[in-house]
Amino acid sequence: MNYNFFMDEIKELQTLINNAKKIVFFGGAGVSTESGIPDFRSEKGLYKLKSKYGVPYETILSHDYYENNTLTFFKFYREFMINTTAQPNQAHKYLAKLEKRKDLWIITQNIDGLHQLAGSKNIIELHGSIHRNYCEKCMKLYSLDEILKKDIIPKCDKCGGIIKPDVVLYQEPLDERVITKAIIKIQEADLLIVAGTSLNVFPAAGLINYFFGNNIVLINKDKLNITKKIKLQINKPIGELFSSLN
């Protein structure tokens, strides 16, 4: 990318942020790749890896597979979905800093909890979090640390039920209350920053259709083609870009 052109994009993005009254940051897996957490659909993503379990990893993350192959699901989940050493990158840190001076909400498809770790408060987690777990029988809640101390298939110490991660699997609906809150925040915003997502996974990808403002910014390593009118598109790693902003 031409350096001078990139600097012009940074200046334009900074101006949009400075002038915005209400900002929504809508982020996908690409937000956390610079923290060492792989995405799913890129050339080096999780779904492109050869499966160790005889079925595609995408299949393992389905409700049916969880129900019918619970042990394998949890082996996969512990190995690939839980990362206890990942730390917030420049994107997470910038957003936490920005929230202190702007009306900013983060809508994330990620389940890693890195936005919270960076210090952000206004977060809507569309697909849940690895840090929340619950017994499917009695609904007792468990932290991630408690789960990691249990057997591969974690069992509730109160009733013996299986403890399920509070994450949305394929074939499972998103929480209507979470979706409604996300829609309201997007409708209220005058700047929507969409970053690190292919916008291929619905219903989450359809949320941008509820934005009725003029300023949509796309930030992604690869160029995206969407039907909504875009104010600015920057094809650059998100953390690297945000480290240049004030």
Residues noted as catalytic: 127
Element (H, E) at 233: strand 232-234
* Cα–Cα distance measured from residue 211 to residue 184, given in angstroms and rounded to the nearest whole number: 9
92: nearest Cα among 167, 21, 25: 25
106: nearest Cα among 4, 31, 18, 6: 31
| Residue 141 φ then ψ, to 5° | -95, 145
CA distances from 163 to 72, 102, 170 (A): 15, 38, 18
